[in-house]
Amino acid sequence: MGADHARILAKDVPAAELRVICDASEARARDLGETFGARHVLTDPMAALSRDDVDAVLIASPDDTHAALTIAALEAGKNVLCEKPLAPTSADCLRVIETEMRLGVRRVHVGFMRRFDPAYTAMKAALDDGIIGGALMMHNFHRNVAAPDWFTGKMAISNSAPHEFDIGRYILGIDYISITAAQSANGRTIAPVFMTLETTDGQLVNIEVNNNAAYGYDVRGELVGETGSVELGAPKHATYNVSLQSAQRFDEDWRPRFSEAYRLQNKAWIDGIANGTPERRLATAWDGLCSTLVAEAGVSALAAGVKQAIKTPAMPAVYMREK
């Protein structure tokens, strides 16, 4: 994912200059640096964060390093785009928020790029424009081809589902009040997880996460309103008609499926730094906290087998967006 962000920033965001690539593997960092024209290659993130010639840092390291690196970047006066989740624990998300508030800045954004996806944008516009009436339910499918060997069962909830937690909260303009979670008992290492959430406005949101779908990367959604519904479209660029069959291809993973969303998100992030006004779709550290609170409750619901309440604290004024 870091390599893909390096490519986007180097090739698709003219206002950005890719200055440093930092990776635990010097060989990989050097290869990327040469490919995308970064001037410096490092393996020590703190050395990268402290450079005077760096204004902004994109963090795409393993989830449990996100909070510490984000805090270090804030302390070094940098702007941050941190890949989701902001942190696997709400306590670490709160450490980031406390750092921003102590420094009196709001310089952290979180990589919930689906907010910039054209299909989700159309879904939100249909609701905001009153085309389907008031929102009642949202159905979500999130299917990966195969989980990497380091992926755990609860990561379906803590690593994959945060996208649905956030996009549901963003489109509906709500917070969640409860979650139930269950996993199919077919014995596979990462069997599908099914969740049902209730919102502060009385809606129901359900999410299927299947990290071993095998057939393709397939993300679907349907927003159901009082007078209609909006289904998520997926960019299918071609239909193949051969041997008495017609077929369309699935993407192998999220990078091609959400390539436009990543491009728009990263451009909005850099443009917001340049003009001093963050684009309102960019997720903040508070959005990161809200998603992780849901994920923590979801993991507890899965373990306990009973509905878990979700208690979202009042949003500090500094994170409130103008309407």
Nearer of residues 256 and 272 to ligand ISE, judged by Cβ = 256
Shortest distance in whole angstroms from residue 206 CB to ligand ISE = 17
H or E stretch covering 168: helix 162-172
Q: Is 245 helix (H, G, I), strand (E, B) or coil?
A: strand
The beta-carbon contacts of 245-251 under 8 Å, at least 24 apart in sequence, are: 249/216, 250/215, 250/216, 250/217, 250/218, 251/216, 251/217
Q: CB under 8 Å to 62, separation ≥6 — which residues?
A: none
Q: Which residue has the tokens 């730094």?
A: 273
Q: Is 56 helix (H, G, I), strand (E, B) or coil?
A: strand
Contact pattern for ligand ISE over residues 111 through 150, marking x by CB under 6 A = ---------------------------------x------
Q: Is 95 helix (H, G, I), strand (E, B) or coil?
A: helix
H or E stretch covering 254: helix 254-257
Contact call for residue 254 and ligand ISE (CB under 6 A): yes
Residues 53-82 that bind ligand ISE (CB under 6 A): none
Nearer of residues 5 and 107 to ligand ISE, judged by Cβ = 5
Nearer of residues 3 and 101 to ligand ISE, judged by Cβ = 3
Contact call for residue 160 and ligand ISE (CB under 6 A): yes
Shortest distance in whole angstroms from residue 285 CB to ligand ISE = 18
Closest-CA residue to 64 (of 41, 92, 45, 36): 92
* Total residues at interface with ligand ISE (CB under 6 A): 5
Which position among 89, 158, 159, 292 is part of the footprint of ligand ISE (CB under 6 A)? 159
Closest-CA residue to 67 (of 45, 93, 91, 33): 93
Shortest distance in whole angstroms from residue 209 CB to ligand ISE = 7
Shortest distance in whole angstroms from residue 105 CB to ligand ISE = 26
Shortest distance in whole angstroms from residue 251 CB to ligand ISE = 10
Nearer of residues 166 and 198 to ligand ISE, judged by Cβ = 166
Candidate ranges 115-123, 159-167, 192-200, 290-298; the one touching ligand ISE (CB under 6 A): 159-167
